[in-house]
């Protein structure tokens, strides 16, 4: 009979860093040593094998190598290769977390992918990954009490005794629908996921960057969560890494911009969330079932009848009237000079990017 005993050991928490974002890896690659400590110092898994050699009736019982019984009392057999992966994947609670560690050092973490297909810990749920550069919420982040989730990138919370709407800065999720906005591809999924995630409970804190509020009066914050499992999550980054959000490119709030860029590259590289479900040329629209992946841009040519040539990726009529982003269903498309509808407010060549 084989008994799997899990023993968790705690490590001393690191001293709080009063200097601010020294904990972040801004401008640096994720530390492989930091990633490996998930399986070496934070968790210690001890495998104890007990052999029972005789039964009450006196019949000899041969030693067997089996997994623990399932909930119906039946023994679960498993191959040696799978055993090795179970042991290697034990420190992780999600595929995204394990895959992030694996991608950082495939050779050093090959035990996470014993079949060599490039996918780590395939038996785990997809989930999300904790912050890979720190295991502590910054000491200067302000604890808040969650009231509700409005959508995929906005929550309501009690902050310093005031009821505030808090916009997760540096990211953008697709619209969840409303009086003036259509439902966009993967918008409801992002909202539902954040609602379920924060419904777990735990400690939430917010961290200010350069801007305090947006034009709608919402606080602009990096939002941290500690669910009591020994890891912390920067929700802004975690949502991007899991494919529920994309990076917001026009923002002065750049404290964790390197982490957000790396998270988006990871999600896009693995076709996670919206990157696999939505039209790459027009992220607000879903890819029809069975349709090939569309190109990110259309080959320029003669303007289509009734469509303004300043917007070559979509069909938008020229003024008048003068349209706003809220008047059209399209998002994140090219805007060329002279941009007659003024969709590209920051002049970066991308129209209707949202707020953040």
Q: Which are the catalytic amino acids?
A: 167, 175, 218
Helices 257-269, 95-104: crossing angle, 10 deg rounding? 100
The C-alpha atoms of residue 108 and residue 106 are separated, in whole angstroms, by 6
Lookup: tokens for 349:
């060549």
User: Can you name the residues that pair with 144 across neighbouring β-strands?
Assistant: 204
H or E stretch including 188?
A: helix 187-198
Residues 144 and 158: beta-carbon distance below 8 Å:
yes
Pairing type for strands 219-226 and 162-168 reads parallel
The C-alpha atoms of residue 245 and residue 57 are separated, in whole angstroms, by 62
**Residue 236 burial by Cβ neighbours in a 10 Å radius (0-12, 13-18, 19+):** buried
Residues 332 and 248: beta-carbon distance below 8 Å:
no
């Amino acid at each position: 009979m084989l008994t799997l005993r899990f023993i968790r050991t705690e490590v001393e928490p690191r001293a709080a860093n009063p200097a601010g974002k020294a904990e972040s890896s801004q401008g640096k690659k994720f530390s492989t040593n930091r990633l490996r400590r998930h399986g070496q110092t934070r968790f210690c898994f001890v495998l104890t094998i007990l052999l029972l050699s005789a039964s009450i009736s006196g019949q000899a019982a041969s030693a067997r190598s089996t997994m623990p019984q399932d909930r119906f009392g039946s023994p679960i057999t498993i191959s040696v290769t799978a055993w090795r992966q179970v042991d290697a994947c034990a420190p992780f609670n999600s595929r995204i977390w394990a895959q992030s560690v694996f991608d950082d050092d495939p050779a050093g973490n090959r035990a996470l992918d014993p079949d060599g297909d490039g996918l780590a810990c395939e038996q785990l749920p997809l989930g999300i990954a904790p912050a890979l550069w720190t295991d502590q919420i910054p000491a200067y982040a302000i604890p808040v009490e969650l009231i509700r989730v409005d959508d995929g990138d906005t929550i309501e919370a009690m902050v310093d005794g005031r009821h505030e709407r808090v916009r997760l800065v540096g990211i953008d999720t697709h619209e969840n629908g409303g009086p003036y906005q259509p439902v966009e591809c993967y918008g409801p999924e992002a909202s539902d996921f954040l609602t379920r995630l924060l419904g777990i409970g735990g400690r939430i804190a917010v961290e200010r960057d350069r801007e305090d509020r947006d034009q709608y009066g919402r606080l602009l914050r990096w939002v941290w969560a500690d669910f009591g499992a020994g890891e912390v999550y920067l929700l802004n980054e975690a949502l991007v890494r899991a494919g529920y959000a994309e990076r917001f490119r026009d923002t002065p709030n750049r404290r964790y911009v390197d982490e957000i860029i790396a998270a988006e590259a990871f999600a896009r590289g693995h076709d996670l969330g919206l990157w696999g479900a939505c039209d790459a040329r027009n992220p607000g629209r879903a890819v029809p079932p069975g349709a090939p992946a569309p190109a990110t841009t259309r080959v320029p040519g003669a303007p289509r009848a009734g469509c303004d040539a300043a917007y070559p990726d979509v069909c938008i009529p020229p003024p008048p009237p003068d349209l706003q982003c809220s008047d059209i269903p399209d998002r994140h498309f090219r805007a060329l000079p002279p941009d007659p509808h003024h969709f590209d407010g920051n002049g970066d060549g991308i129209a209707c990017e949202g707020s953040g």
